[in-house]
Amino acid sequence: MRGSLLSLLSLLLTLPALAQQDPFSHFDTNRNGRIEADELPAEARPFLGMVDLDQDGALSREEFDRVAANLQKWVPQEPENHATDFQNIDYVGNGHTRQTLDLYLPDQPAEKALPLLVYIHGGGWMSGTKQEGLGVAEILTATRQYAVASINYRLIQDALWPAQLDDCKAAIRFLRAHADTYGIDPDRIAVMGSSAGGHLATLLGTTSGEKSQEGAIGAFPTTSSKVKAVVDFFGPSNFETFYGEDVDFLEASRSSLAVRLLGTSDEEILRNARRASPTTWISPQDPPVFIAHGTRDTIVPFAQSAELETKLKAAGIEAHLIAIEGAGHGFASPELNRRVKAFLDRHLRGQSQPISTEPIPAR
């Protein structure tokens, strides 16, 4: 849900700037050194738990500064190191603004046909845009070794499950069908996403070859939507165990975003909870998966990624789980960036790169 966190960050940083005040002091109206829920704008209060690192119900100065510093690294900036970008490409052909993608190509690419990373934004399936992929595009196109696409998909306001997965698969098929046009290698496509985007990216990996999950969206229904590698940042992996092994999913999730995604009736929700879980579809043919997750995530439990790694490895799939020690639902780390690049280089560029799975401390 990085989109939600960025919205909160914008509120916390830009509103005080208009008043030429220190952001923390602006909101700490009772001057007790803590920003409490009733001191925040109403629209920001629901997200307090995402950035309250010690979960004491308020933000200390240290928490505020740490979260602001980390999240500002994710604020989208226009990539500067690519010569060509294609904006708002309609990958379905029906004019729906949520079924569009942006494609970024590097200046002076190292190869004629570049490997492609497709970024899928987060936002709880109800918010977020392809703009969130700009930071990734900047990093990878600067190497001149990768092309990057960032996609929109229909949100739950537009359509319920499986529309979100159908759109992602349609985008992959479109990009593969137009590989020659854009100078990308159709056999070297990976996907990456965070939170809801991580969930969709992982599903693209585990449903590869599952005809029942392919959908029929777009002009290239017979083109493959398979991907060669998956990068998943703290995405849900199994809705049926999301609240714990011994907890009734339907009862526990009555007001959750997951239920709003999965359907309207109990029967539909229970059926789709299984179908929309990446772990349901794991098979030995799945691509390798790189996972990163904060150990103090209160939105998507760390156990979701641990379960995913365990089940992937049990099926013989290469899987790497990186614990971000002390981090919540969102983080930034240069060391993590290096490991992601090593993973992509291994599977998209054939380089024998060691990939450490040592935990990374939150900054």
More confident residue, 329 or 188: 188
Tell me what percent of the residues of the chain surpass a pLDDT of 90.
Answer: 60
Q: For residue 91, give both structure tokens.
A: 């990958």
Asked whether the predicted pLDDT for residue 59 surpasses 50, the reply is yes
pLDDT average, residue stretch 338-357: 95
* Cα→Cα distances 4→16, 123, 291, 305, Å: 19, 6, 21, 21
pLDDT average, residue stretch 160-175: 97
Within the chain, where are the H helices? 2-18, 23-27, 48-51, 61-72, 134-141, 163-177, 179-182, 196-206, 249-252, 257-262, 266-275, 302-314, 334-348
Asked whether the predicted pLDDT for residue 101 surpasses 80, the reply is yes
Q: Which of 151, 104, 155, 154 is nearest to 131 (CA)?
A: 151
Asked whether the predicted pLDDT for residue 140 surpasses 90, the reply is yes
Query: How many whole angstroms separate alpha carbon 357 and alpha carbon 67?
Result: 24
- 277-293: pLDDT as tens digits: 999 999 999 999 999 99
Asked whether the predicted pLDDT for residue 19 surpasses 50, the reply is no
Q: What domains are there in the chain, each with its CATH number? A: 2-72 (1.10.238.10), 82-361 (3.40.50.1820)
User: Taking the complete model, does pTM exceed 0.85, yes or no?
Assistant: no
Tell me what percent of the residues of the chain surpass a pLDDT of 70.
Answer: 83
